[in-house]
């Protein structure tokens, strides 16, 4: 590791806003891999600031640590990731984020109406989900999960 690119765990904590204990936890999860100096102190790459910042953002979007670890595992450990490396990583998440955005949009737009859950507690559910036809599509709020409401023949 190039000593000019080395930072201490305290510096990494200050730069990311993470607690030192959180950084140690992420280390045990394989999300960062510091080296140790002669005194046994952890030494991180300066690029670990971005790596851990990415972890924080990905978690806020609901990605699991397993999924984040899988994606970050494709970044090089032996060198600082390039813009091209990060672009490839972002492409992986783009489709998943687009699906989440679509699901959130459906939730926002349909939450006050029938969601296909089968409770039939709203008067409008008799129009959108008569006799709980959504149950034929499976469990859960079918219409919010993306199933189309099928209106009965008049």
**What's the pLDDT tens digit per position in 79-116?**
778 889 888 888 888 888 998 898 888 888 877 777 87
pLDDT at residue 2 is higher than 70: no
| Confidence (pLDDT) at 117 | 81
SS (H, E, C) the chain: CCHHHEECHHHHHHHHCCCHHHHHHHHHCCCCCCEECCCCCEEEECCHHHHHHHHHHHHHCCCCHHHHHHHHCCCCCCCCCCHHHHHHHHHHHHHHHHHHHHHHHHHHHHCCCCCCCCCCCCCCHHHHCHHHHHHHHCCCCCCCCCCCCCCCCC
* Per-residue confidence band for 25, with pLDDT thresholds at 50, 70 and 90: very high
Does the pTM of the predicted model rise above 0.95?
A: no
| Confidence (pLDDT) at 153 | 62
């Amino acid at each position: 590791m190039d000593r000019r690119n080395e930072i201490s765990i305290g510096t990494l904590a200050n730069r990311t806003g993470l607690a030192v204990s959180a950084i140690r936890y992420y280390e045990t999860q394989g999300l960062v891999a510091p080296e140790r100096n002669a005194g046994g102190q952890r030494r991180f790459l300066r690029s670990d600031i971005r790596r851990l910042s990415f972890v924080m953002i990905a978690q806020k979007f609901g990605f699991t640590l397993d999924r984040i670890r899988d994606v970050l595992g494709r970044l090089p450990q032996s060198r600082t990731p390039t813009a091209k490396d990060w672009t490839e990583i972002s492409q992986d998440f783009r489709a998943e984020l687009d699906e989440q955005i679509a699901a959130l949009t459906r939730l926002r737009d349909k939450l006050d109406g029938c969601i296909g859950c089968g409770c039939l507690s709203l008067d409008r559910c008799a129009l959108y989900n008569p006799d709980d036809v959504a149950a034929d599509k499976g469990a859960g709020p079918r219409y919010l999960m993306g199933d189309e409401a099928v209106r009965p023949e008049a």
